[in-house]
Amino acid sequence: MTLTGAGSVTRAVARSLLLGLTLLWLAGVLGSGIVLKRLIDQKSDDELQESGAILMSLVSHTEDLLITAAVLGETKPGPTTGTAHERFIYQIRDAAGGVLLRSHNATPDLLDVPLQEGFVDAGEWRVVTIADPVNKRFLQLADPLAERREALVSALLWLTVPLGVLLAFAAFIVFRASRSLVQQVQRTALAVSRQDPQALGLLPLDGVVTEMRPAVEATNRLLARLAEALEAERSFTYNSAHEIRTPIAAALAQAQLLAANATGTGLTDQADALVRALARLARLAERLLALARAEGAQPLADEWVDLARVVQLTVDEFHHNPRLRGRRIVGEASPARVRGDLDAVGLAVRNLVENALVHGAGGTVIRLVCKATRDATTLAVIDDGPGAPGTDVSSLTNRFARGSGAAGGGAGLGLSIVDTLARRMGAKLVLSSPVEGHRTGFEARLVWNATSSAGAVAVPTGTSSRSARSPDRIGKG
């Protein structure tokens, strides 16, 4: 998990929680609004009813005025409701519906509602009708519905406004909490990503949250199992190499001793044939061991490898080899180093030299050349043998592939092994035949691109006094 990913998880958690909280809050506000409206209506109706009763009693004291008004056939403005804002309007009507008295702010058509006791909505008004059976009059009192709406809106507003503050506060709390939790996961993820493939240590359990602990413990069990498997493979590869090489060496040495002692006897040919067969067996075993190592799951080291020293050691290894058959092996080493695995580089170069020994027969020299440029670092094994005429050299990296003009003795595994090792090291194997500028020869070049991968950073060796323009020649067969 990357840091960006962790951040997005935090935001996603915060967003979900806040959205849920908002929806829940709004649902609460809606429910509250419904209940509140009912309560406001109930309270206002009670108040209206009570005010109507009071007003009815007041009207009974103005009976003369009402009678006079009835005689005159006029409606008179009655006494005000006495409220500061004159919320109420009213009218007194007789049984026939005629208006006997009305408040000064009531228009004639405003309260055109039936003379029936109870509440009714009329336009923007809530009207209560109260009957006076003694005087056969009806009082109709109304208050504005807008006022009720204002009260409801105001109440809802006071419920909603704090939500903003609450959401901001909740967002902060949620972000902090989720970030803290994600950081726990992130620490575990970082511990996994920083695992040294060479060591495969267990993940630390300190500071791991309870929910993550089973996952970390399970990962540790897997890592321990993986480490055991890798160690078993490494041990098998290493020990089997030792166990196989020694008896082959013993058989080959005894055969060579026999051949030496048989010189001049009739057994010379048989002894020499035995030596050749055992030598071929030895080379095949070496190839198979190398193949097992190249294709094994063992992680490769990521360390600085001095290619000049690899060249020198490889020349030293081969410069007495009888299979040179008169050829020389020389090193031309300029300061060059790459990030990689010393043993893997050594195995690759050794296989390239073995390839040159087998297929470069007839040549005079095998050259090991390493150098570093701004773009790449290379280590090449070049022979001046016949090369691989008429062969697609790129196909030579296929397992058991041999060039069309290849001499016998090769297992067809060497270049495949080197190609596998090169890819594992972040390098590439480049083959060419004939050698550039020549009519024959074969060149196998390991190339570490300076920018292609982290495992193949190539820089000149800073501490060496050797000049890159004048490579040192090493050894001679």
Site for other proteins in 347-366 (CB under 8 A): 347
Is residue 181 close enough to count as binding other proteins by CB under 8 A?
no
* Per-residue burial over 296-305, b = 16 or more CB atoms within 10 Å of its CB, e = otherwise: eebebebeeb
State the residue for tokens 């005087």: 135
**Beta strands across the sheet bearing 303-306:** 303-306, 337-340, 458-459
320 near other proteins (CB under 8 A): yes
Helices 213-261 and 268-295, axial angle in degrees (round to 10): 170
The piece of 9-17, 46-54, 240-248, 454-462 that touches other proteins (CB under 8 A) is 240-248
> Which residue is associated with the tokens 């490898």?
305
CB of 346 or CB of 412, closer to other proteins: 346
**277 in contact with other proteins (CB under 8 A):** no
- The residue within the footprint of other proteins, chosen from 111, 139, 310, 381 (CB under 8 A), is 310
The dihedrals phi and psi of 76, each to the nearest 5 degrees, come to -110, 145
In the numeric block, which tokens belong to residue 168? 């901001």
| 208: contact with other proteins by CB under 8 A | no
Q: Binding other proteins by CB under 8 A: which of 27, 35, 67, 257?
A: 257
Do the beta carbons of residue 416 and residue 399 sit within 8 Å? yes
Does residue 374 touch other proteins according to CB under 8 A?
A: no
Cβ at position 358, least distance to other proteins in Å: 15
Distance from the Cα of residue 177 to its chain's centroid: 21
Q: How far is the CB of 313 from other proteins (least distance, A)?
A: 6
Q: Is 260 in the site for other proteins (CB under 8 A)?
A: yes
Nearer to other proteins, 322 or 408 (CB): 322
In the complex, the smallest distance separating the C-beta of residue 435 from other proteins, rounded to whole angstroms, is 26
Judge whether 126 and 119 are in contact, CB under 8 Å: yes
Answer whether 138's CB lies under 8 Å from 95's CB: yes
Task: Pick the stretch among 21-29, 131-139, 343-351, 457-465 that binds other proteins (CB under 8 A).
Answer: 343-351
**241 lies in the binding site for other proteins (CB under 8 A):** yes
Question: Least distance from C-beta 275 to other proteins, angstroms?
Answer: 9
Query: Secondary structure of 308-335 in the HEC alphabet?
Result: HHHHHHHHHHHCCCHHHCCCEEEEEECC
Region of 36-44, 307-315, 416-424, 426-434 interacting with other proteins (CB under 8 A): 307-315
- Scanning 36-44, 181-189, 253-261, 423-431 for contacts with other proteins by CB under 8 A, the matching segment is 253-261
Q: Which is nearer to other proteins, 87 or 234 (CB)?
A: 234
Asked if 248 interacts with other proteins (CB under 8 A), we say yes
Residue 428 CB, shortest distance to other proteins, in Å, is: 21
Nearer to other proteins, 126 or 283 (CB): 283
Dig out the tokens for 254 from the structure: 């005894």
Residue 202 zone, left/alpha/beta (φ > 0; ψ -120 to 50; rest): beta
Instruction: Choose, by CB under 8 A, the member of 252, 267, 393, 459 that binds other proteins.
Output: 252
Structural contact between residues 366 and 383, judged by C-beta atoms closer than 8 angstroms: yes
Nearer to other proteins, 37 or 319 (CB): 319
Who's near 316: CB < 8 A, 6+ residues apart? Answer: 475
Total site size for other proteins, rule CB under 8 A: 31
279 in contact with other proteins (CB under 8 A) = yes
CA atoms of 187 and 200, how far apart (whole Å): 17
State how far the Cα of 285 lies from the Cα of 314, in Å rounded to an integer: 20
CA angle, residues 170, 172, 175, in degrees to nearest 5: 105
Tokens representing 80? Answer: 């005000």
CB atoms within 10 A of CB 169: 11
CB-nearer residue toward other proteins: 10 or 312: 312
Q: Which of 24, 153, 232, 253 binds other proteins (CB under 8 A)?
A: 253
> Applying CB under 8 A, which residues contact other proteins?
241-242, 245-254, 256-257, 260-261, 279, 282, 309-310, 313, 316-317, 320-322, 342-343, 345-347
